[in-house]
Amino acid sequence: MPNYSEWNYAIVRHFCQGRPKSSKVYLSVDEDTLALIGLGFSSSTNTTAVEDFKRAVQQKVVCGDKINLERIQGLDNKQTPQCIAFLGLCVLAAYYMANEEEISDSNYFKRLNQLLGVSQSCNSPRPQGMKFGSKAEEPLWQEWNSWLLRQGFQYSACQGKGHSNKFINYPISQCLLRQAEQNRLINLFAEKRWTIAWDSSTLFSQIKREAQHNGLASHLKKLVLSEPQRHEALAELIHEIHQQWLEQGCPTLDKIHHKGRIWSRNLFAGLYRTEEPFWGNVEYFLYPKQQRGRPLENLTLEYQNQNHQLRHDRDGWYLPLEEPLTAQHLEKGAKYPIIPNNSVEQLILPARDFWILISDPENPDSSSFASWGIPTLGTQFILLCKQELYKDLERLKDERLINWTDEPQPVHDNANWIELHQCMVISQAWDGIFIEHQELKDALQPTEKLSISLSGGLRVPNENGWIEGYLPEITIFGFTLKATLKVINLYTEQVVQENYVTTNQPILLETLERGTYRLQASFGQEAVEKYLRILSWSDLNFIQNKSKNLVPITDNFSLCGSILITQEITI
């Protein structure tokens, strides 16, 4: 049976591997998650993954009838927080709470005590030995949050605003869907016969339509229609549930638990856009996504009568394929077989009416755009869409909700697809607006009121950092005129800068020493954070080119790009 450390590391890999940097991480541990993680262990047991996981956590933190959290503080030998498996069990307790249960300490800790196999304290619903939140589980959540920031992710676990849920909100905030809500979704899939392998955004729009027409239970409806900052993660989880339901043969709820948990056999693709700098020719390429939490290697794709090996590009993505897509691919979507098909069977390019393309998050100054994610507030993007959506877009522009430059540009000399350039959302007043293509509105409506953007300076690629002395400019984008900006040392928690600044205007940072910083922008109840690393030249790992293209200019010297080198150098 896997021990605590093995579960701890496997959970971290599941939620972080294959996830793009700067994305928000939810530690949404549930039965399906544990079952999928359990498939990765070589040893097999006669019990379920949930039982094995519970037993491993109990053996680590339970001493007699008391909890000892000192045993899971700090980092392990893989430089991973040791507390993650325990925090996952805390989230599992929230997952088991019924919808009708009041969110309170007593109801939550009743579930947690059952999972830990201990009794509650005499004067508190907490497990025996578990101190008050600020001296017990909260430092563990803060350690997890800090670790995520250092890895380049955004954290999502936070305190509650009320006294009754101040500390239990940490695990509850991570539970995107409770058990009862997942069961209701499966009933909906079966009832509506949603047997098409949609992508996550298309599926989530279908769910929203059901919620708006009272097709969902009240609590699930509230989840889908409120808290827009959670929608991207919620859509991803619902898509995973739907994919698993498809893989199991679309069973009804009473049969699904007898099927066993399995990975999806589908990979999905986005679009990668390039533009020739001199002539302006635009091409689109197939851009395969990696499955989150599942390392898949040595996959070959059958594409346009040729075999193409899928190679890693960055976290969350394989490299774009070399052959450009045609207008027909955009119009109808496509499916491409994968060989060998032991793990996954096909790559799906969804048939969509529009695509939102943002600039490269790791190299914003490049000319490449792709479906890397939802554009943050203040970010310009390219909208690729069918001509029939243009009327809706003009309506949104007339309402001063969105803006773009220039006239629509045709794609592939095909009047049915157009591009809109330098698009930007400019208002948050979307609630009273109704258009024909509601999925378009869902995708464009802002989910945040503040965002932090870093630009300029000397960026270190793939490190989410900048060189000391060459810092970026900070812009706080928002719908308010002013916001508070704090620069906080991540390790000492010391506030090194604090200013009340004008939004939507670049700000020069004061000199910062080498280190890791948390940038916090806030106005009223709204707050966002971003992580910034300042590196010295000595922190960089310089890579020696193994091959060089040389242009001889004399017997002794050659040019390699802009560098003059001697012939004695071994190539």
Q: Which contiguous run of DSSP H or E holds residue 557?
A: strand 557-560
Confidence tier at 371 by pLDDT (50, 70, 90)? very high
pLDDT in tens, 276-297: 877 778 999 999 999 988 888 8
Q: What confidence tens digit (pLDDT) does each residue in 181-204 have?
A: 899 999 999 999 999 999 999 999
The pLDDT confidence band at residue 551, using thresholds 50, 70 and 90, is confident
Contact 105, 164 (CB under 8 A): yes
Note the pLDDT of residue 545.
57
Residue intervals of the chain classified under CATH 2.60.40.3080 are 450-539
Q: Residue 147, SS3?
A: helix
Distance, CA of 320 to CA of 371 (rounded, Å): 12
Per-residue model confidence as pLDDT tens digits over 203-242: 999 999 888 887 777 778 888 888 888 899 999 999 999 9
Phi and psi at 315, nearest 5°, equal -55, 125
Reported confidence tier of residue 568, pLDDT bands at 50, 70, 90:
low
Fold of the 450-539 domain = Immunoglobulin-like (2.60.40)
**How many angstroms separate the CA atoms of 432 and 454, rounded?**
33
Q: What pLDDT, on the 0 to 100 scale, is given for residue 549?
A: 67
Question: Which pLDDT score is estimated for 571?
Answer: 42
| 55 compared with 262, residue with greater pLDDT | 55
> pLDDT digit string (tens) for 31-55?
999 999 998 887 777 889 999 999 9
Q: Which of 108, 147, 162, 103 is nearest to 130 (CA)?
A: 108
pLDDT at 529: 86
DSSP 84-121: HHHHHHHHHHHHHS-TTS--SHHHHHHHHHHHHT-PBP
Percent of the chain with pLDDT over 70: 95
- The partner residues of 282 in beta bridges, in order of sequence, read 275
CA angle 115, 116, 120 (to 5 degrees): 105
Please indicate, yes or no, whether the overall pTM of this predicted structure exceeds 0.95.
no
Average pLDDT over residues 427-447: 90
**C-alpha span between 50 and 35 (Å, rounded):** 7
Contact of 366 with 358, CB cutoff 8 Å: no
What integer is the mean pLDDT of 127-154?
Answer: 88
Report H helices in 378-458: 390-398, 438-444
Residue 563 pLDDT exceeds 80: no
Q: What is the mean pLDDT of residues 330-340?
A: 91
CA atoms within 13 A on the CB side of 107: 15
